[in-house]
Amino acid sequence: MKLAMRIRVARQYAKLSQMELAEKLGISRGAVANWESANDAHPATSRMVKLAVLTGVSVEWLVTGRGRMTHESGREEVPALDGEFVHDVAERRLLGAFRRSSARAKSLILELAESHAPTARKFRGTLHD
């Protein structure tokens, strides 16, 4: 996951708007928007540390993408590389539980989820452990 996406995920994890984060950091909303865009604008190291503290994420994860996103014990996390498009806490928990399940349980979970999403096209494939 690229730095821009990690910054956005951290901000969303803290339930902050770009403006709220900018105010807490003492910068403009545009600076936060630039960091979150694909134009390769990066905050200074001192701001990265403050950003991690303000949003409750690990400095290592924010800067490098390695390790756990947070330091909270007992909180299930999707590894950073797998979490690029998984921002919702419930979705992360479901994905984590699904990955730890047996092949039979995965099949039942998938069947249950698809039965409650009738407009979704169902995939008829084989699940692997």
Domain edges within the chain: 3-86, 88-122
Can you tell me the mean pLDDT for 90-111?
Answer: 84
Mean pLDDT of the chain: 80
Q: How is the chain classified by DSSP, letter by letter?
A: --HHHHHHHHHHHTT--HHHHHHHHTS-HHHHHHHHSTT-----HHHHHHHHHHHT--HHHHHHS-S-S---TT-----TTT-TT---HHHHHHHHHHHHS-HHHHHHHHHHHHHT-TTSPPP------
Q: With cut-offs at 50, 70 and 90, classify the pLDDT of residue 91.
A: confident
pTM of the model: 0.57
Structure confidence at residue 109 (pLDDT):
87
Whether the CB-CB separation of 55 and 11 falls below 8 Å is answered with yes
pLDDT digits (tens, 9 = 90+) for 35-71: 998 777 888 888 999 999 999 999 988 988 888 888 7
Could you please state the CATH topology (level 3) that the domain comprising 3-86 is classified under: 434 Repressor (Amino-terminal Domain) (1.10.260)
pLDDT digits (tens, 9 = 90+) for 105-129: 888 888 888 888 766 555 555 555 4
21 Cβ contact partners less than 8 Å away, ≥ 6 residues apart: 11, 14, 32, 51, 54, 55
